[in-house]
Amino acid sequence: MLVTGGAGYIGASVASACLDAGHTPIILDDLSAGVHAFTSGRQFFAGDVADGAVLAEVFAAHPDIAAVVHCAAQAVVPESVAHPLEYYHSNVAKTVELVEQVARHGCRRVLVSSSAAVYGPAAGPAVSESSPLAPASPYARSKVMVEQVLADAAAAGVLRAIALRYFNPIGADPKLRTGQQAREPGAVLGRLLAAQRGAGPFIIAGTDWPTRDGTGLRDYVHVWDVARAHVRALERFDDVPSRNGFVAVNIGTGAGTTVRELIRAFEAVTGEPLPVREGPRRPGDVAGAYARVDRADRLLHWHAQLSVSDGIRDTLSWRRVRDAVLNGARRGGAGAAKGA
């Protein structure tokens, strides 16, 4: 299968999970956010998902591509607020181009990255796929639009599509082939890592949320479970019932973790107390939600197997090898991909 964004955090994990399951991923990535080291030993085409010439080259070399896993996207919420047109162009317009091209090359299965960000804050705390959509940023709206584009194309018989709505992915490939590209990602686990290495206390962003301990609640799902969900969806693609050829599926653990619980889990994994301070809410933040995951279970025969502690442990392990992997000095852990 073709994996767009296959040199990024999630796409590279998907490519690894495909390899481990015996499916050869073909990676298409423009390396704007992805890293070249994650394509090491894998079939890789450098280019834009909307570039017809590159896609023609990909399909000429691999006419048997049965499905496209479309992970390439811009995904930084504040950046999307500052540069909405860039986000709609990259995420929506280029998806339209990609889908037209791949259908022209005879490939009619698309698995696309979507996000829990499509749901409104009022949908929580447990959100199912039929909870109301109320995307709160250009990034989130671009994901809703991508789903709509695919649903309409599916209804017209152009293709069939499955959208996976990820909750909060954490962790790294347990074999440490890939992980977060950034040294200290902006999301909460990156802030915990920064506090652990002495960059000042971790600030809890709000203690007056309507949750069991007053702190924000999220459904942290291990990126390897997320990657496995893609493999399941690809393997079951033609058996997944859908309305008019399109279906959206939540990818989460089905359980919420508060910030205080996350801190305790982090301290349990490291065995050290973490410097923590209570602070105000972040602007635009929400209390949060967790996924209802019965549809993933029913349609994909998938459920998360790894815990939040596993995600923390793999994040810490990844931090130790990250520089060596990105510099090409280390090609993942045991069982790293050999040339595909």
Ligand X SMILES: O=c1ccn([C@@H]2O[C@H](COP(=O)(O)OP(=O)(O)O[C@H]3O[C@H](CO)[C@H](O)[C@H](O)[C@H]3O)[C@@H](O)[C@H]2O)c(=O)[nH]1
Query: For residue 18, which of 202, 166, 226, 200 has the smallest C-alpha distance?
Result: 226
Task: Assess 138 for contact with ligand X (CB under 6 A).
Answer: no
Is residue 216 within 8 A of residue 209, CB to CB? The reply is yes
CA-based Rg of the chain, rounded to a whole angstrom? Answer: 19
Work out which of 33, 107, 110, 117 binds ligand X, going by CB under 6 A: 117
| Count of residues in contact with ligand X, rule CB under 6 A | 19
Widest Cα–Cα separation across the chain: 57
Kindly tell me which of 71 and 259 has the beta carbon lying closer to ligand X.
Answer: 259
Task: Assess 94 for contact with ligand X (CB under 6 A).
Answer: no
Give the number of other Cβ atoms within 10 Å of residue 19's Cβ.
Answer: 20
| Minimum distance of ligand X from residue 329's CB (angstroms) | 29
CA pair distance 292, 227, nearest whole angstrom: 18
Task: Assess 71 for contact with ligand X (CB under 6 A).
Answer: no
Task: Assess 25 for contact with ligand X (CB under 6 A).
Answer: no
CA pair distance 233, 336, nearest whole angstrom: 23
Task: Assess 163 for contact with ligand X (CB under 6 A).
Answer: no
- Span from 34-42, 121-129, 146-154, 202-210 in contact with ligand X (CB under 6 A): 202-210
Stretch 252-271: interaction string toward ligand X, x if CB under 6 A: -------x------------
- Span from 123-131, 155-163, 281-289, 322-330 in contact with ligand X (CB under 6 A): 281-289
| Minimum distance of ligand X from residue 215's CB (angstroms) | 6
| Minimum distance of ligand X from residue 206's CB (angstroms) | 6
Tokens standing for 141? 């709206």
Is residue 142 within 8 A of residue 113, CB to CB? The reply is no
| Minimum distance of ligand X from residue 140's CB (angstroms) | 6
- Span from 201-209, 236-244, 305-313, 315-323 in contact with ligand X (CB under 6 A): 201-209
Q: For the chain, give the number of residues.
A: 340
Which is catalytic among the residues 139, 166, 220, 290?
139
| Minimum distance of ligand X from residue 199's CB (angstroms) | 11
Kindly tell me which of 109 and 313 has the beta carbon lying closer to ligand X.
Answer: 313
Task: Assess 165 for contact with ligand X (CB under 6 A).
Answer: no
| Minimum distance of ligand X from residue 114's CB (angstroms) | 11
Task: Assess 80 for contact with ligand X (CB under 6 A).
Answer: no
For 219-238, letters b (16+ CB in 10 Å) and e give bbbbbbbbbbbbbbbbeebe
Work out which of 34, 216, 256, 311 binds ligand X, going by CB under 6 A: 216
Kindly tell me which of 187 and 274 has the beta carbon lying closer to ligand X.
Answer: 187
Work out which of 21, 54, 77, 276 binds ligand X, going by CB under 6 A: 77
Kindly tell me which of 186 and 328 has the beta carbon lying closer to ligand X.
Answer: 186
Task: Assess 288 for contact with ligand X (CB under 6 A).
Answer: yes
Task: Assess 5 for contact with ligand X (CB under 6 A).
Answer: no
Task: Assess 285 for contact with ligand X (CB under 6 A).
Answer: yes
For the question of residue 166 being annotated catalytic, the response is no
Query: What residues line the site for ligand X (CB under 6 A)?
Result: 75-77, 115, 117, 168, 187-188, 191, 203-206, 216, 218, 259, 282, 285, 288
* Catalytic (active-site) positions: 139
